[in-house]
Amino acid sequence: MISQQPSLTERARRVLPAGGLGNFPPDFFVREGKGARIKDVNGVEYVDFLLGSGPLLIGHGHPKVLAAVNEQIPLGTTFFANNEHCVALAEAIVEATPCADQVRFVSSGSEASLYAMRLARAHRKRDKLLKFEGGYHGMSDYSLHSLAPTQLANFPLPVADSAGIPEHVGEDMIIAPFNDVEAAVSLIRENAAELAGVIVEPMQRLIPPEPGFLQSLRDITTELGLVLIFDEVVTGFRMGYASGQGYYGVTPDICSLGKVIGGGFSLAAIAGRREIMAHFDADAVAPEDFTLQIGTLSGNPVASVAGLATLNVLRRPGTFDRLFQIGERLMSGLRAALADAGVAAQVVGEAPMFDVVFTEREVRNYRDVLAADAGQLALFNQVMRAHGILKSAGKHYVSVALEERDIEQTLCAYQAAAKAVAA
Ligand SMILES: Cc1ncc(COP(=O)(O)O)c(C=O)c1O
């Protein structure tokens, strides 16, 4: 009798809830990634716009990152204690990032945004925070409000995005519509006596801020003495070497960083003004103002050297020009393919990350995305995958590792996918 080996999918289903990591459809198994491409376990190759959900801006296995990591590994992988590499990475972040006088390392973007919010509360000695509907700030109980509500609530009521979030946490979250200066400013004013601060992704998911929106948040938070937090986990070192705050020309008080700064390893950070970061220093503030924060892998030397090597590649002259040229070429190719096929759709985003939203209306906020045709997007993604293009359900992450043949393959796939949606 031939004994049938269980498939990888079957094995995964036995030991992983929902058969996967909770991130990506679990039937897709990656074997390897190199440059701008990945191969699945069957050897099928894809142009990669998933990029590990963003960290691999300079591509998989960049030789400079591999060399730095391979040099560090025999010397030790994690110490808990200070090491010179995390200091060098912090120096590079401080040098590049307008709001950053100091940096505290953690292991994930969720943690970074969670601690950024805690810092704001400690600094203002108040509990409430304002966030925007559709804004993502990781998986903490506070962040997971009104990220992706399907039942819309009236502003500023929060909607919990997950089971298991204590109801009382929502009482400290105020929700505002993105890109609506008037609504945001009036909610901030109304709640000024209780608010610690405002947290916002400078580019919310795919949606760029309208001119003046971030500056209005800066002005009102400065006027009222509230902490302005930019969640730059995605935009950090991706919109430019000075991150989203440099690109859009608005400097927050503190920011969270992740993804790119770890070079594909577990590393994220909170960076900000010295007097706010001082809450992490027991000697610098009164005992009741000290914000406790420790983490086993924080600032570990492997992630630090990978992050530093990545930043060194990014700071080379011309790197961001190339990223923007590639992204703009792809966005205009996608727009042309959709127009040729006669599909009502918007290409939303900025060159380093964008996607198509199947809607006739202008996309300014979460509700515009929610109203779009999800079935058309699913079909588009399916045809893209069949043409060897891997992306997440709602985003292209563009890498500087993309070569001419990758770009051409992607542009051809756009035409096929747009035609399929139109059919
Ligand atoms: C804007 C933003 N903040 C926070 C996070 C959470 O980061 P992590 O997945 O590293 O916990 C993400 C993750 O995609 C993000 O996009």
Nearest to 242, CA basis, from 156, 168, 146, 314:
314
Is the pLDDT at 155 greater than 70? The verdict is yes
Of the candidates 259, 355, 391, 397, the residue annotated as catalytic is 259
Contact 331/351 with Cβ under 8 angstroms? yes
Report the share of the chain in percent with pLDDT over 90: 99
d(CA 408, CA 291): 50
- What pLDDT, in 10s, does the model give residues 366-410? 999 999 999 999 999 999 999 999 999 999 999 999 999 999 999
d(CA 117, CA 101): 18
Is the pLDDT at 220 greater than 80? The verdict is yes
**CATH class in words for 64-314:** alpha beta
Q: Can 46 be counted among the known catalytic residues?
A: no
Average pLDDT, stretch 243-263?
98
Work out the pLDDT band at 251, boundaries 50, 70, 90.
very high
Q: What is the pTM of this model?
A: 0.98
Report how far ligand 1's centroid is from the alpha carbon of 138 (Å).
Answer: 5
Q: Out of 50, 147, 233, 245, give the residue to mutate to test ligand 1, the one with the largest number of ligand atoms within 8 Å of its CB.
A: 233
48, 56, 113, 173, 392 from 52: Cα distances, Å: 9, 6, 19, 30, 10
> Would you list the domain boundaries of the chain?
64-314
Average pLDDT, stretch 124-132?
98
Contact 105/261 with Cβ under 8 angstroms? no
Report how far ligand 1's centroid is from the alpha carbon of 111 (Å).
Answer: 9
**Residue 260 CB–ligand 1 contact under 6 Å:** no
Contact 256/227 with Cβ under 8 angstroms? no
Which residues of 181-260 form beta strands (DSSP E)? 195-200, 227-232, 254-257
| Closest ligand 1 atom number to CA of residue 110 | 11
d(CA 90, CA 92): 5
What does the pLDDT read at residue 4?
Answer: 83
Is the pLDDT at 3 greater than 90? The verdict is no
Nearest to 97, CA basis, from 285, 236, 290:
236
| Closest ligand 1 atom number to CA of residue 201 | 1
Eight-class DSSP state of 136: -
What does the pLDDT read at residue 1?
Answer: 58
**Residue 138 CB–ligand 1 contact under 6 Å:** yes
Q: Can 259 be counted among the known catalytic residues?
A: yes
Is the pLDDT at 32 greater than 70? The verdict is yes
- What pLDDT, in 10s, does the model give residues 168-191? 999 999 999 999 999 999 999 999
- The residue nearest atom 9 of ligand 1, judged by CA position, is 109
Average pLDDT, stretch 86-93?
98
Average pLDDT, stretch 112-134?
98
Average pLDDT, stretch 79-105?
98
What does the pLDDT read at residue 22?
Answer: 94
**Residue 368 CB–ligand 1 contact under 6 Å:** no
Mean pLDDT of the chain: 97
Q: Is 221 exposed, middle or buried (0-12, 13-18, 19+ CB in 10 A)?
A: buried
Q: Can 136 be counted among the known catalytic residues?
A: yes
- What pLDDT, in 10s, does the model give residues 294-306? 999 999 999 999 9
Nearest to 117, CA basis, from 105, 127, 106:
127
**Residue 399 CB–ligand 1 contact under 6 Å:** no
